[in-house]
A and B are shown apart, each in its own frame.
Chain A
């Protein structure tokens, strides 16, 4: 029973490049959440998606960041024109249904370093 998978685990980008982070939820889960963790800080919610729909993107910066969860394939968090401040660990979580919050399973994270 595979858990949440994220790739790549480590990503290095130069300033101005694009970063694409992928998240494959637990099989059968249709809800995906993205969080960002800056060094020495707690996780901060970014966006909540269901298949083909963005439900809540209140935590996501208005510019350069976008997320999708297509009908087929993994969820993608895309950061355009990365800056040094985007360096962080990005965690994806999934749940089977939105009403059961405690069933949120987290992936191992993608560590983005912007040079």
Chain B
């Protein structure tokens, strides 16, 4: 699985958009980009995933560059409850061995 690079921490003002970057320059053609988050002391929570097209759901938007070497998770209107560690994970969607490899993620702090 491709390695990802994320900034260790970010701040965002409440109500503003939070843009979390992720570099995955060694991603291969069959690898998806997944985002999970972990609110303090809880289990990780799935946010969104994509292959090459931009994706949007009720939680967030995922923007993947055309060369797929980087992506950005966008929380459109951050709230205090979005304070968490956000993990960008790149992996192939295989039928077996579906474990995720979590890095250290980005610690997002939403400021009132």
Q: Would B97 and A91 count as touching, CB distance under 8 A?
A: no
Chain A interfacial positions (CB closer than 8 Å to B): 4, 31, 33, 35, 41-45, 48, 55-56, 59, 89, 91, 93, 95, 98-109
Chain A residues closer than 8 Å to B41, beta-carbon distance? 89, 109
Rounded to whole Å, the gap between the CB of A76 and the closest CB of chain B is 18
Q: Would A107 and B87 count as touching, CB distance under 8 A?
A: no
Rounded to whole Å, the gap between the CB of B5 and the closest CB of chain A is 13
Is residue B15 contacting chain A, with contact meaning CB distance below 8 A?
Answer: no
**Residues of chain B at interface, number, CB under 8 A:** 25
Chain A residues closer than 8 Å to B104, beta-carbon distance? 41-42
Binds A, one of B17-25, B76-84, B88-96: B88-96
Q: Would B49 and A102 count as touching, CB distance under 8 A?
A: yes
Q: Would A56 and B34 count as touching, CB distance under 8 A?
A: no
Chain B residues closer than 8 Å to A105, beta-carbon distance? 46
Chain B residues closer than 8 Å to A101, beta-carbon distance? 32, 34, 49, 91, 93-94, 98, 100
